[in-house]
Amino acid sequence: MPEFKFKCPECKQQIQCDVGYAGSRITCPICQKNILVPSSAEPVLEIKVSTLKKAGLYSAGALLVIALLFAGRHLFGPKTLTFKAYVDGSDVVKISGNQLWVEHLTWQQPLRMAIDGKAWDPAWTDNGTGMQTDPVNASALPVASSFTARYSLSRAFKPSSPDHVKLTRHIGRGKIYIVQMPNAENKQTVGILLDDGPIGGADNYEFTLSW
């Protein structure tokens, strides 16, 4: 049965007894006087120190395992980036290291851009230097007419191998494909073409890049 502690009214020493004796008279084991066990005493739960230590170790171990799993997924698991824009024409999304930017090719500049669900409304710079996009098949694309300011990514694009770079198309009526694969010559830059082409009007385009 649960036990509780109370002070002997005669000798003032602390006594421990079962709650079943509450309201009864007993002989104090210290002063041997006949005393009344109080009925209002609260039960005292006693837990061994060793039990508390074990519980603490188990909890710490569980937290450590969770932290390691999270860190492993963050450091060694697949990295992803999702880009979305309202496209009317064609644009190339460039990603290199911790920077992302858009090179606009034809028709209207893209609107309502978002990176990993976060809205992005960058400043645009007209191309007055003759700068050309550098996809694998550069001759198939015109010179970029303008380009955005650089967006700083929280997770840098650093694929361990070009084979690990994968593009997943979500929405968009036109073409979405990789026109530039990362390599040492282009400073590990990947380029994704969003091509609404000659289709009338504009449409939402969205893709996820993993590496």
Q: What are the boundaries of each domain within the chain?
A: 3-76, 80-210
Classified as helix, coil or strand, 20 is: helix
Q: Give residue-wise pLDDT tens across range 92-127.
A: 999 999 999 999 999 999 999 999 999 999 999 998
Enter the pTM of the model: 0.62
Name the strand (E) or helix (H) holding 25.
Answer: strand 25-27
How far, in Å, CA of 142 to CA of 195, rounded?
Answer: 12
Q: Give residue-wise pLDDT tens across range 135-186.
A: 444 445 678 999 999 999 999 999 999 999 999 999 999 999 999 999 999 9
With contact defined as beta carbons under 8 Å apart, do 84 and 107 qualify? no
How far, in Å, CA of 30 to CA of 43, rounded?
Answer: 21
